[in-house]
Amino acid sequence: MKTIKIISFIAFLFISIVFFESCQKEQADTAVPEFTVLEPMLGDTAVGETHIEFTVTDNAGLDDLVVTIKDKSETVIYSKHSNVLDLKVFAFHDHYHLDGITSITPLIVTLMAMDKSGNTKTKEIPIFAKP
């Protein structure tokens, strides 16, 4: 009987610690992913092609990364998903050829990253495209 009590007590302690630890972990990750953008910068004018280069980081690990370019009518002219699952850091580097630009056109480059806990960060960078 005494042995059962001791085992029950140890089991209770163990379960409590595990539960407490898991609660702590759940509370821990509220940090959103962070972008450090090298290009484009706000208000840049792209001629011929857009150069997009940035690094995204997350303390717990990324889940998804999407980069889009939209024109003023919200039409998506460029969209790229990157497989960043479980990465804590990812360097994005791509060039998009701006075809069909006939005059100075405002565009919005949008970076969206989500981490494994569902924390999302979106960054919009307005730029201009020139033929």
Partner 1 sequence: MYKIIVTAMLLLLSGNALACDICGCSAGGNYFGILPKFQQNFAGVRYQYRSFESRAHESISENGQASMEYFQTTELWGRYVLNKRLQMFAFLPFNRNKRVEDTKTTVVSSLGDITAIANFVIINSDSSCKRYKHLLQIGGGIKTPTGKHEIIRNGIMLNQNIQPGTGSFDFPINAIYALRHKQIGFNTEMGYTFNSPNNQHFQFGNRFSIVARIFYWKKFKQTILLPSIGMAFEKTKNDLISSIKQDYTGGEIVLANVGFDMYYKNISLGITYKKPMTESIGGGYISNRQRLSANFIYLF
Rounded Cα gap, residues 27 and 19, in angstroms: 12
Nearer to partner 1 by Cβ, of 21 and 94: the residue is 94
Closer of 72 and 93 to partner 1 (Cβ): 93
Contact of 60 with 31, CB cutoff 8 Å: yes
CA–CA dist 109, 123 (Å, integer): 8
* Residue whose CB is less far from partner 1, 45 or 83: 83
Q: How far apart are CA 104 and CA 98, in angstroms?
A: 12
- Between 33 and 103, CB nearer to partner 1: 33
Binding interface with partner 1 (CB under 8 A): 34, 36, 38-39, 51, 53-55, 57, 82-83, 87, 89-91, 93-95
| CA-based radius of gyration for the chain | 23
Write down how long the chain is. 131
Within 13 A of 89's CA, how many CA atoms are on the CB side? 3
The alpha carbon dihedral of 42, 43, 44, 46 has a sign of positive
